């Protein structure tokens, strides 16, 4: 394996691990605040690294495979998710991002359970390297989430006041008599 391919595989593995670890933080947090945006941006950058680095891993497969097509598809769905939230299309954003996340889980499961793939081979041949890398990525993701939540978690977007109960939205006069 040449240096370029080895680097692409390392970048791919670390970025994919971050995608898997950061995804649930944004999916399951109730508040969609500044922390959601910061973690989401980190997740998108990680997903782009996964897709681009995946396209660089040709020497293992000998050519273009279904995984390269899925990398292109995921790059597009992630980009559509960013586009949709910038246009205020929250449901489409959620669909794109959760769909991309689920796809990454399926691909990750495949990479982890098929014996011929790199992860199971590393687990058998050099488990210390595998678990050190896993621990390092988990620690990095945990520190990043803790930092973001400490820094931005308190600056939540205020909940809107429900309209129709006699109280006007903030900044507007009430028309209720």
Lowest mean pLDDT among 9-13, 31-35, 166-170: 166-170
| pTM score | 0.78
Closest CA to 61 of 120, 130, 111, 124: 111
Place of tokens 């900044």: 171
42: pLDDT confidence band, cut at 50, 70 and 90? very high
79: pLDDT confidence band, cut at 50, 70 and 90? very high
Distance between CA atoms of 29 and 150, rounded to whole angstroms? Answer: 14
pLDDT at 139: 94
Phi, psi of 90, rounded to the nearest 5 degrees: -65, -45
Is residue 163 over pLDDT 90? Answer: no
Lowest mean pLDDT among 90-99, 112-121, 150-159: 150-159
Rounded (5°) CA angle 82-34-20: 60
45: pLDDT confidence band, cut at 50, 70 and 90? very high
> Mean pLDDT across the chain, nearest whole number?
82
Closest CA to 99 of 30, 154, 27, 172: 27
């Amino acid at each position: 394996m040449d240096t370029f391919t080895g680097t692409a595989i390392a970048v791919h593995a670390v970025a994919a691990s971050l995608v898997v670890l950061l995804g649930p933080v944004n999916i399951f947090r109730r508040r969609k605040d500044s922390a959601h945006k910061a973690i989401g941006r980190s997740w998108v950058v990680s997903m782009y690294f996964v897709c681009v680095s995946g396209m660089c891993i040709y020497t293992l497969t000998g050519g273009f495979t279904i995984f390269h097509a899925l990398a292109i598809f995921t790059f597009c769905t992630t980009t559509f998710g960013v586009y949709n939230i910038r246009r205020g299309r929250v449901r489409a954003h959620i669909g794109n991002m959760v769909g991309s996340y689920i796809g990454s889980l399926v691909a990750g499961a495949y990479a982890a359970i098929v014996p011929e793939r790199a992860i199971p081979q590393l687990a058998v041949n050099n488990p210390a390297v595998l678990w050190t890398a896993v621990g390092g990525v988990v620690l990095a993701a945990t520190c990043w989430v803790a930092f973001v939540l400490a820094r931005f978690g308190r600056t939540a977007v205020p909940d809107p006041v429900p309209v129709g109960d006699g109280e006007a939205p903030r900044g507007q006069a009430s028309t209720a008599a």
